[in-house]
Each structure stands twice: as C-alpha cells, then as structure tokens.
Structure 1
Amino acid sequence: MVGGFSECELVQMAVRNKFGGDRKIIIPDESGLAVLKGAVLFGHQKKKITKRILKKTYGIQSWPEWDPDIHPETKKIRMGGTDRCKDVFFKFASINDKAEDGHTSSQIFQALNPNEKTLECAIYTSTDPNPRYVTDPTCQRLGNLIVDLPKLKEGETLEIEETLVFGGTELLFRAKNLKTGRVFETQLDF
C-alpha cells in the first residue's frame, strides 16, 4: 500500500479484512511519500516510463452504413441519401494494450454532411475491450475536438484523418483536414 491514507491503521485494517486472506499486504516505510517520490522522479526522468498498459479502450464515434443484420433499428439514421448507424464505437486501442511513448493510431473518415461548418470529433473510453456503441453504459466521453470545415461543392467529399498519440501522462488527439492540410489538436490527461 502506498499514498497518504496507507499510513492510517483504520485503512490498513479494512484492506487486510477485504483482501488479506491468502494475500500479503505490504506497507513500505514512508509509504505516504511513495507517490510523491514517483511523481518527482518521473518529472526529472520522463523516459523512465517507455510503455504503458492501457486501463481503458479508446475510440471515437463513427457513422458506418447501416446494416440490418448487425445494427439495431433504433440506431438507423438517414444522412445524405444513405442509411447510417449512429453512435458506433470505432476502436483505436484496447484495454490492456501496451502503448509505447509516442505510439500513434490513425484512421481516415469522411465528413458526411457538406452543409456543416464544423465537425465535432469526440473521443471515448470504455472499460469494455470491445464496446459496440458510444452510448453503451461502459463508455464515457473523454473529450472532443472541433474541426473547421471549408465550404464544399455539391458532390464533393472531405476526408479527415483522426489520430491518437499516446504519451507519458497525456493523450494527444489530432484531426487533419486532408484537403487543406490544416491540423487541429487537443491534449487530454490520462
């Protein structure tokens, strides 16, 4: 046990009662300072942590063509003359994946509504390794990124490359307009 509360005998007793049994509970000297010392060491030597095991699944909302064999009728929506399935979780990285510092995962999507002036790109996390929809109870919106869209001519398509970059204690979410090359970014803490 580490952290400030680990020095409290009441907490120690509760942990032993809950998890003790056949497990040994270890409380090192100065356990209250362990987290602080770790944070200071990380601040001075950022390259000490080179890989991270992801605690959650990361993805974005997508709108694939609606397939009656896969998608429920309640998720069916008509966009630009095509039936689409709303709220589909498009997975970038899964729970328990090992992500090295700087690991990137990208996918190219089309802006589906030519009349929109902006596109909201939302990133979601889930405690499920394979969530189906961003509305599932295991999913939570982590953040979003607003991308300015240029005026499109009738029939013209626009592709947006969405990228997640896993770093030490942060997640960089990037969206690039492949027509203009303009890049939009936001950083999110793990």
Structure 2
Amino acid sequence: MKEQFGKKKNIIIPEKSGLAVLTGAVLFGHQPTSTAKRMRLTYGIRSWPEWDLQMHLESKRVYLDGVNRCKDIFFKYFQVGELVECCDEESQVFQAVRPFESTLECTIYTSSDPNPLYVTDPSCQRLGNLIVPLPRIQQGEASKILVEITMIIGNNELFVRARDLVIGRVFETQFDMC
C-alpha cells in the first residue's frame, strides 16, 4: 500500500477489514438508502398491437377476431442504461386480445438492446411469466377486459403486478435482477 500510495500521508489499514465490510452490509440491509442505479438490461413484455405495414414484418402478422395484429412485439418498460431509483414503476393498460380466454399470459423479457422490436430478436431472453385469470364475459364484451401491467424496480429484484380492471383482482410475481 505504501509503495502504491506513498504520496499520501495517512494510510489506514484496519485490523479486521472483513468485519468492516460485513458490518456495512448488515447496516445497509437494515437501513437502505435510496440510490440510483443504471439498468443492466431492457425489461418489457410481449404484446400484440395492431399490425402496421410500415413497421412490422409480414411474417409477424396474425388475424385475431377481425383485426390484423403483430405478434411478438417487445413492449418496453425500462431501458438498458436508464437511471432508476428503488421503487420506480411503470404501468400500462392492455386489452385482452382474444375473447373468451380464461387467462392472460404476461410474458416478461429482457434484452441487451435498448430498443428491441420483437421478443424473438437475438438480444432477447424470456425471464418468466405471470398468469392472470380473466373474468368471464358476455359475447361481444372482449373490449372490456382490461389488465394493468406494472413493473416495479426493487433493490435487486423486479416486481411485476397485474391488476384486472374489471373486478380489481391483483396478481404478482418477482424476478432477480442480479
């Protein structure tokens, strides 16, 4: 230390440096301070917007209940490099695509790309699912099934919450961000 930092007058080398690190970790665990961090990956979900000839590949077009939709779109919540605080959250309301489905499968993806277009891009990886049971509806009321999907940044985890806006049920899961 003295050879490397000889110009410094006071060099302090604690006798139990490992204990100092452990004590700091325990104190942080009991009294965490809010510190911003940069996102290591882009986080989003698979969505099915209306198909757009100018933006989407023909191979991604599917016809669902009278509407041309684009499958496998990466809907971005948080972007790689973005500065976030603990408890930052982003929400979006989605409409059920297919009438009479009993569940909505919310598939969460990550990407090293700041702006992936499709969840099938080479930079994307499936992180996991959140299955949301959907309420039963009457014929012609599919447009009334709305689900709010929220992603919340934790200290080292990503929380995903889905709230059925028809009857208010909430479903949650979490993933490690390490």
The answer to whether TM tops 0.5 is yes
Match of residue 166, structure 1, among 153, 158, 161 = 153
Listed as ranges, the gaps of 5+ residues in structure 2 are 1-12
Deviates more, 1:30-39 or 1:123-132: 30-39
TM-score (norm 2): 0.83
Number of residue-to-residue matches in the alignment: 162
Indicate conservation of the 8 Å contact 2:45/2:106, yes or no: yes
* CA apart distance, 1:44: 3.1
Match of 1:44 in 2: 30
What's the TM-score once normalised by structure 1's chain length?
0.78
Do the aligned partners of residues 79 and 32 (structure 1) sit closer, same or farther apart at CA in structure 2, a change above 3 Å counting? Answer: farther
Name 2:3's counterpart in structure 1.
none
- State, as a whole percentage, how many aligned pairs show the same letter: 56
Q: Is structure 2 residue 149 aligned with structure 1 residue 175?
A: no
**Residues 88, 38 of structure 1: alpha-carbon distance in 2 compared, 3 angstrom cutoff:** farther
Asked if structure 1 preserves the Cα contact closer than 8 Å seen for 2:146 and 2:164, the reply is yes
Name structure 1 gaps, 5 residues minimum: 1-27
Matches within 5 A, 1:116-127: 116-127=101-112
Are the equivalent residues in 2 in contact too, given 1:50–1:168 (CA < 8 A)? no
Is the CA contact (8 Å cut-off) linking 2:135 and 2:166 kept in structure 1?
no
In 1, distance between residues paired with 2:26 and 2:59?
Answer: 50
For the 8 Å contact 2:91–2:150, the answer to whether it is kept is: yes
Q: Which runs of 4+ in 1 moved over 4 A?
A: 28-39
Deviation at 1:98?
1.0
Residue aligning to 2:99: 114
Match for residue 141 of structure 1 among 126, 135, 159? 126
Structure with the larger helix share: 1
Counterpart of 1:184 (choices 132, 154, 171) is 171
What is the Cα deviation at residue 140 of structure 1?
Answer: 0.7
Displacement after TM superposition at 1:189 (Å): 1.1
Q: SS at 1:46's partner residue?
A: coil
Give 2:75's aligned residue. 90
- Please say if residues 148 and 165 of structure 2, whose CA atoms lie closer than 8 Å, have aligned partners that are also in contact: yes
Q: 2:114 aligns with which of 115, 129, 146?
A: 129
Paired letter, 2:150:
T
